Structure 1
Amino acid sequence: MTPGNNGASTPEDDDPFGYLYADGQANGAQPPSGGYGYPNSVSRVRAVGERPYGQQAYGQPGVPQQQGAYGRPNASYAAPETFPGSAPTTQQPMPGHASGGGGGRGRGPNTRGLLIGAIAVVAAVVIGISVAMLGGDDDKNAGGDQASPTPSVSQSAESTPSGESSAESEVELPKIDAKALQLGGGATTASDIQGAQADGGVYVTGFNAVGASVTWTVNGIPESGKYTLYVGYGVPGKDANATLTVNGTPSTTGVDLKNWANAPEGDYAKGWTRTYNYIQLNKGTNTIKVSCEQGNQCDANLDQMWLVKGWVKSGG
């Protein structure tokens, strides 16, 4: 069959596009005048919503097409609920919308209130956990068998030891007068110069000669350690010095017998004063010797010797 032949028995045998070809046009093929597709075919274009409800399949013979006005339902359409025996239907409100009041729009769920409630619950849980933890720490600290990690104020402020050590610090250390010293090298005692602090005003004289010495055997030293040796003396308005020996070992520092009283030269009575040396002693018995050795200037009178615990600058 040639394009554009209108003698086809069925639409399938006809060439719908025969009018596009030269031979089809020569055979009288024409563009379609009705619906899209075949020439002279029935228009299938319908307005939206115009299909009859319950109508038979489109194109079946004997069924007339019913068309209503645009935008209106077909007259043959009937809602299902209008059929006999059908249950009436009611319009259900949308979730979250009010069902009454002239079609007005209702309020949604109070999400802000829910959020505030959730935050309050979380805060309460956190506070409860914190209180429980603090309570647990208090229970630990309350335990009688647990030591405190740091000393208390009273412990750290305690400056003196208790018990035996405190008693030892209060022990009075030995003191000796001139008449009880062991004399050597021509040294003697006298009492004619006023101002000596020893018992009876007795002092050691004749010390201004090489080899002269005084020795003190000290008993009852409570413990080994540092002590300060004080020597009472008088000079005639000028400086002097001597050598110190402790437990047989000469000290590198001599006994400084200066005119600290600022007495006029030649006046022994106004030249009484004292000096000190730092020494190390052993617990128990020790020997302390002050002597006039070669190179010393020893023009001085000695009246007392005493000890103070530690290395201090004031010994009474």
Structure 2
Amino acid sequence: MTAGNTGSDTPGNDDPFGYLYRSEGGEEGAGGDGATRQQGVPRTSYNQVRAVGERQYGGASQQPGYGRQNASYAAPETLPGGDRSRPQAAPPAPPQRNHKGLLIGAVAVVGVVCIAIGVAMLNNSDKKGTEDTAQPSESVSASTEPEKKPADKPSEAPLPKDDAGSLKLAGGATTSKDIPGAQSAGGVYVAGMNNPGASATWTLNVEKADSYKMWVQYGIPGKDQNLTVTVNGKRDDRPINMGNFKGSEEGAWDKGWQNTWQQVNLNKGTNTVMLSCEDGNKCDVNIDQLWLKPLH
């Protein structure tokens, strides 16, 4: 059975497109209102063509005008999500993070952690030091006693040095100050040594027995001279050399002041050293000063 056939129509009316021209009041059973359908007259059935927008919903007849929307219709922009065909407002930008503030905060946190670690280490160190230094009462009392310091070593006295005026003279030796340039106090020196048996004795003190250099400041007339040395009564086989080391002119006594030295072995305490004119010596010499220096 076709769309226009209800089962009682004639074959000539079995037209699949008959609903386009059949009348609204078709025959009963064909969905009409009970009126007799006329041949060749378009029927007005429920299949009648209607204008766009005219429709029946839920058995109620609605005849809205052209273009009027159904009451259940809602515009896309009113639905959730809105009309995607229209430009959408840009979402708000995320808040900017204060990187400088974050960096400062991170540094502060690291600093606090470091301080905490340092304090913990100090506490542990103090605790350990306290445990290590804890001793029985006897040890503690012993440690509180004042430490005995070794006595300071007494400083050695300077080695002696004397002027010619302090020497003991004999055998024609005498003091004088006629020739300028002597270093003794007041320019006083020992003269008259150019006499056999003339002597000048120096008495001195040393803190320890040792060998020393005995220095002699003397004056000559531009010629080499020498004298005999006797230490604590013992005569030295070597005379002290009083040469013309400066190369002064002969006869120029004021230009002939110079010095020489000879080793002497002294005892601890008081010693005597005598310079004398003996056989074989050249004694044309004046004596100004005598002093000691270490041999080494």
User: Which structure is larger by alpha-carbon Rg, 1 or 2?
Assistant: 2
Q: TM-score, normalised by structure 1?
A: 0.45
